[in-house]
Amino acid sequence: MIRSVFVLLLLLLFPTGAFASEIEPAVHSATSLSPAAMIAMAIFVLGYLGITLEHRYPFHKSALALITGVSVWIVAAAASRGSHIIEETLHNTGAEIFEIIAFLLCAMGLVEILVHYRFFDMIRVKLMKLNFDDHKQFLVISYLTFFLSAILDNLTVTIVMTQIAMRFFKNKHNLLVMVANIVIMANAGGAWSPIGDVTTIMLWLAQKFSSMNIIIEGFIPSFVLGTVATFMLSRKVVKNGGDIVEETNIHFRRGAKIIIGIAMASFLLPLAAHSIGLRPYQGLLLGLGLVWSAIEFLKTYSKAPTYLDTNIEAILQKVDISSLQFFIGILLAVSGLQVLGVLDYFSAIILGEAQEPSRIIVGNIVLGLLSAIVDNVPLTALAIDIIKVQEPALWVLLALTVGTGGSVLIIGSVSGIVAMGMVKELRFDRYLKIASIPALVAYAVGCGVWYIQYLLFLK
């Protein structure tokens, strides 16, 4: 497998012969990579391979990601010689990283509070009374993830549903299969909603499609994609894997109900913040502040116990910081490649200068697969800049592909990175073995369904 990866990278970095003659000039970037860009690409490839082989060597993926990200920027800074582009890109990257990290810290903090209050244990007890076996539990959690991701963002849903899954499956193999499918279904569910994923929000705000366009034209392909993956992964669930046996009744006092209610309502605040022109993370910051204040108030003035005997700072310290550091490193590396023109170069190769719908369709599908390696946000931004067609259906396809293509690899989406941090056993190699082929097959089927839909109704 490693040999194939190196061959593919050599073809991408050093196109020759018939392949090179087919390359069309880029729209907004140079037609070839600079020496600095080539060095940065080599650093990125080595770092990426190190992350994929983490389980074989004494390295931590977060450390490798940080080294890779900063090293790429060192090359970019040396090549720029004080260019204002470096400062501008770093400013934008820093803002993006801050928003995502602030959002993740608040979301994970709220989830840890709900864990402490045993909210997820209560959900498990309620569902266990329905006497579902492992397969039915798998299906219920999968489709709940799919539909909730369209309402909430897919990142929040991944965190919440992974917590629920960790309380359902005693068998470790079944848990890994379940969490892998949560990642796929969260990405699929977010792809057909204008507010379900950051890339759909970008395209929607850029007026590439209306909210009805993405819902009507994106739902069936996304649903089929998720269903195919769920069917394939459900066959890997071990029968009678055993459930975690706990008490059958959980009762909450009034103070606990208040805290849980405020925490759950907080997950709707990002949408409310976005509707008035604020950033989604500001909504979660408000929610965490309200929950925090309510807990301190009840601890001080309520005579009834609040189930939070420890300080809330201790609860928030349980947030997985290493996963956040991993994400920072990846974003830094991708933004460094972007400032060196690497992403523009490959986007121009994939999409071409011509704007024929057939070329755009193929290019969108390839970009989706590329998002399994490179963050989908800069890819979407580049597509918005390069693609000049105004046909909404083609932009719906882009939302579908960049939103779900990252599911092919565990580090291809924010949902995957967070899930990997929450379930330590879900390493790169295990996800590759369990879910990459189902995710890839489902991706191909979803794109095929979109194309049939396009030929019959949208063309």
Torsion (CA) 301, 305, 310, 315 in degrees, nearest 10: -100
The helix/strand count (H/E) of the chain reads as: 23, 0
Mean pLDDT of all residues in 61-86: 85
* Overall residue count recorded for the chain in this entry: 459
Instruction: Taking each helix axis as running N to C, give the angle between helix 35-52 and helix 321-339, from 0 to 180 degrees, rounded to the nearest 10.
Output: 160
- Domain locations in the chain? 2-246+319-458
Query: Whole-angstrom Cα distance, residue 23 to residue 293?
Result: 59
Query: Whole-angstrom Cα distance, residue 93 to residue 134?
Result: 42
How do residues 301-339 score in pLDDT, each as one tens digit? 766 655 555 566 766 666 667 777 877 888 888 888 888
Mean pLDDT of the chain: 80
Q: pTM for the full model?
A: 0.73
Mean pLDDT of all residues in 94-112: 82
How do residues 7-48 score in pLDDT, each as one tens digit? 333 333 333 333 233 323 333 344 678 888 899 989 988 988
Q: How far is CA 425 from CA 230, 237, 419, 421, in A?
A: 20, 16, 10, 9
Please answer whether residues 316 and 110 qualify as being in contact, where contact means their C-beta atoms are separated by less than 8 angstroms: no
How do residues 376-389 score in pLDDT, each as one tens digit? 777 777 777 777 78
Query: Whole-angstrom Cα distance, residue 207 to residue 301?
Result: 50
Indicate whether 274 pLDDT > 60. Answer: yes
Q: Is the dihedral of CA 202, 205, 210, 211 positive or negative?
A: positive
